Chain A
Amino acid sequence: MNPPSVYNGYNPRWYRPRVSTYWWLWQWAYLKFILRELSSVFVAYFVVLTLLQLHALRQGPEAYAAFQEWLKTLWVLALNAVSLVFVLFHTITWFNLAPRAIVVRLRGKRMPDQWVSGSNYVAWLVVSVVAAWLVLRG
């Protein structure tokens, strides 16, 4: 039997559903957002890895060779491959979102979104080419 109702026009009884802990699972856009947030962990991991590499370099040739050997182990290779995918995902999704936050106006007209995201990609390419040249020039 239903409990006696106290509902009336001055005493409404609202229905307030709880938000599920897994709200992000049932829609791709939300899942993509969570993955984008998660990708920050992998960005941080690459930063730490680079710092460790510099530390090994500072310790001398033997320490650096040992560090490079460690990098070649299977589980580190697998971790770095997964991290690379997440870092690329992080970069591309944020570059694509940049035009929403940065509005560029030229002679009163808003520049197309592609200009803002495109400039980010161009800067990425230039920095990558310079970094590759510095590392690979011998």
Chain B
Amino acid sequence: MTDTITLEVMRYRPEQETEPTFQGYEVPVRQDWVVLDALNYIKDRLDGSLSYRWSCRMGVCGSCGMMVNGEPKLTCATFLSHYLPGPMRVEPLRYFPVVRDLVIDMTDFMGKLQRVKPWIVRKEEKPLSQGEYLQTPEELDIYKQFSMCINCMLCYAACPVYGLDPQFIGPAAIALAQRYNMDSRDQGTKQRLEILSQHEGIWGCTFIGECSKVCPKEVDPAGAIQQYKLTATKEWFKAFLLPWSVK
């Protein structure tokens, strides 16, 4: 006999209601089923009106992040069997505006991501004829951890600072800024520091550390922010003590 589990799914239908409600669905539990499989089962068999975001089903695209029993999780990597006998609660990612059911609006995050220039910035591009920008394995190793971010935004849902102050640039965007700062091919550190040394940048972080705990890719955004603080402080002292060294 197959086990079943009840999923209490948050429903928000803005054309009908002003406050969300919870709707219970009983779904079968198979050994290899994850929460996303259960949502797909509900969508296909029980209630086609349920809305949620998903794509790759393999922890790469970062689309299916939701709150599972109050914890930010990638639903494609969260097994139903861990929550037996249930019931379990599925909600949209915390601290983001909810568009419908389990779908959040990510415009704010996308804007912040762009602000920190998460790409290689060069003062002057060398001509193609001079070849590629080479990098040693050791140089790659310095930033590789931070490059694993899949923009799933679980870290934002774990960060009360972002919940309390939506101006805060937030863990993933800062970790990605740090990823490019640490890249030996990049020359945009100063440009990013201008954005991230503001109050809503690195100094907004109070080092709660939950962003790193919920990260499905072990990026450690909390570590990235603290390392960034250290760099910014050193730069400030350098500018204070040796003002002629700052160009």
User: A residues engaging B (CB < 8 A)?
Assistant: 2, 5, 7, 12-17, 19, 23-24, 26-27, 29-30, 33, 37, 97, 100-103, 105, 108-110
Contact = CB atoms under 8 A, between A and B. Distances in A.
A28 to B, nearest CB: 11
7 tightest A-B contacts by CB? Answer: A101-B226, A14-B97, A108-B138, A100-B223, A13-B14, A15-B98, A19-B163
Interface stretch (B53-61, B79-87, B207-215): B207-215
B15 interface: yes
B97 A16 contact: yes
A18 to B, nearest CB: 9
Nearest to A21: B164
Contacts of B99: 12, 14
Given A14-B99, A100-B212, 17 more contacts: A2-B17, A7-B14, A7-B15, A12-B105, A13-B15, A14-B14, A19-B95, A19-B160, A23-B160, A30-B160, A30-B208, A30-B210, A97-B226, A101-B223, A101-B230, A108-B141, A110-B141
A5 B95 CA distance: 25
Contacts, number: 75
Interface residues of B, number: 34
B52 to A, nearest CB: 15
Given A15-B97, A16-B97, A19-B95, A97 B16 contact: no
Contacts of A15: 12, 14, 18-20, 97-98
Contacts of A105: 142
A97 B229 CA distance: 14
Contacts of B223: 100-101, 103
A103 B220 CA distance: 13
B206 interface: yes
A7 B100 CA distance: 11
B222 A100 contact: yes
Contact of A33 (B164, B208, B220): B208
A5 B220 CA distance: 43
B233 to A, nearest CB: 10
A87 B142 CA distance: 34
B114 interface: no
14 contacts: A5-B16, A13-B15, A15-B98, A19-B164, A27-B70, A29-B213, A30-B210, A33-B209, A100-B226, A101-B230, A102-B227, A103-B227, A108-B141, A110-B141
A120 to B, nearest CB: 15
A89 B227 CA distance: 23
Contacts of B105: 12, 14
A37 B207 CA distance: 10
Contacts of B226: 97, 100-101
Given A13-B14, A23-B160, A33 B206 contact: yes
